[in-house]
Structure 1
Amino acid sequence: MEVILLESVRKLGIAGSKVKVKDGFGRNYLIPFSKAVRATKDNIAVFEAKKAVIDSENAKNLLAAQEKAAKLDNLQVYIIRQAADDGRLFGSVGSKDIIVAIHEKGHTEIERNNVILSKPIKTIASHDVVVSLHPEVNIVVKVNVIRSEDEIVKQD
């Protein structure tokens, strides 16, 4: 299925580009969430007419994401978990835990789907986690997984 992207989508393309995607991805995600429209003759004509508005809206979203990134620069959060003597956690730290820690720091504009975590964190250590504020703007948040609040003082 060919679609025209109405907004930039990570790992797919920028707004205004015509891309080929799998049918299910287009029908179940891109089109229902207004991220794309089918690339038919009528939709292409409508898109060309609205292109200036869509481009200005995407530029505004990019600028807002860059401002958020400037506020969140060098953000560091602490998550307290129980662990074995060798540093392995009893359980794991996922994106939900990271978002709760970020919200506790006062940054409630970041949502769970913004956290890009390839696999859960399973060790006591400092981890760099990527947070995507916009398909073109990513920041790195330092997530420190520790055993107790006493370790916060030691690390600072």
Structure 2
Amino acid sequence: MKIILTQEVSGLGTPGDIVEVKNGYGRNYLLPQGFAITWTKGAEKQVTSIKRARSAREIRDLGHANEVKAQIEGLKVNLRVRAGDGGRLFGSVTPAEVVDAVKAAGGPALDRRRLEMPGHIKSTGTYQVKIKLHPEVAATFDLNVVQG
């Protein structure tokens, strides 16, 4: 089955890639989850728009990725959340909240889908968060979750 990826799927490709997968994997997982669309001649236009949008927000090259890594690792990222007694949160910290906290701390705009969170963050404290900037470059920074 020939499909066009609309989101990054690890081990398969990035948005805009045209890939060949087994029928069951495409029909039962990728298409219903919204990770891909079926390939048609008309979908080629969608591929170009997806690739154009991706290139606008993607890290340009390895050197640029290393610059962004140095910038991120030098940040002190604090995230204020509502918490009850004992530092237990009402809910959990989402990747979107972490990306907003990085931007508020003076960091670059990041893609929330590239964050690797240390499980579900459900209490106050300091956590190590990793982000993949480039296939060869990953940055790690401390996220300080405080009651506020």
TM-score range, shorter chain: 0.5 to 0.7
Contact 2:116/2:129, CA 8 A, preserved across alignment: yes
Task: Report the Cα distance in structure 1 between the residues aligned to 2:2 and 2:110, rounded to whole angstroms.
Answer: 31
- RMSD over aligned Cα atoms: 3.6
Partner letter of residue 69 of structure 1? K
Q: CA deviation at 1:112?
A: 2.0
- 1:100-111 to 2 correspondence within 5 Å? 100-111=100-111
- Structure 1, unaligned stretches of length 5 or more? 4-8, 35-59, 149-156
Aligned pair count reads 119
1:85 aligns with 2:106: no
Counterpart in the other structure of 2:96 = 96
**CA separation of 1:101/1:124 partners in 2, compared to 1, >3 Å: closer, same or farther?**
same
Q: For residues 80-127 of structure 1, what are the alpha-carbon distances to aligned partners after superposition, in whole Å with 9 as ceiling and x for unaligned?
A: 122222221112111111111111122233222232226431111101
Larger of the two Rg values belongs to structure: 1
- Structure 2, unaligned stretches of length 5 or more? 14-18, 39-43, 52-59
Counterpart in the other structure of 1:12 = 11
**CA separation of 1:20/1:137 partners in 2, compared to 1, >3 Å: closer, same or farther?**
farther
Give the % identical residues: 29
Task: Report the Cα distance in structure 2 between the residues aligned to 1:113 and 1:87, rounded to whole angstroms.
Answer: 27
Task: Report the Cα distance in structure 2 between the residues aligned to 1:67 and 1:145, rounded to whole angstroms.
Answer: 26
Contact 2:75/2:107, CA 8 A, preserved across alignment: no
Task: Report the Cα distance in structure 2 between the residues aligned to 1:61 and 1:77, rounded to whole angstroms.
Answer: 25
SS in 2 for 1:79: strand
Q: TM-score, normalised by structure 1?
A: 0.57
Contact 1:74/1:142, CA 8 A, preserved across alignment: no
Q: TM-score, normalised by structure 2?
A: 0.59
Partner letter of residue 11 of structure 2? L
Task: Report the Cα distance in structure 1 between the residues aligned to 2:134 and 2:12, rounded to whole angstroms.
Answer: 12
Large movers: runs of 4+ above 3 Å:
19-28, 31-34
Counterpart in the other structure of 2:64 = 64
Counterpart in the other structure of 1:120 = 120
**CA separation of 1:68/1:62 partners in 2, compared to 1, >3 Å: closer, same or farther?**
same
1:135 aligns with 2:125: no
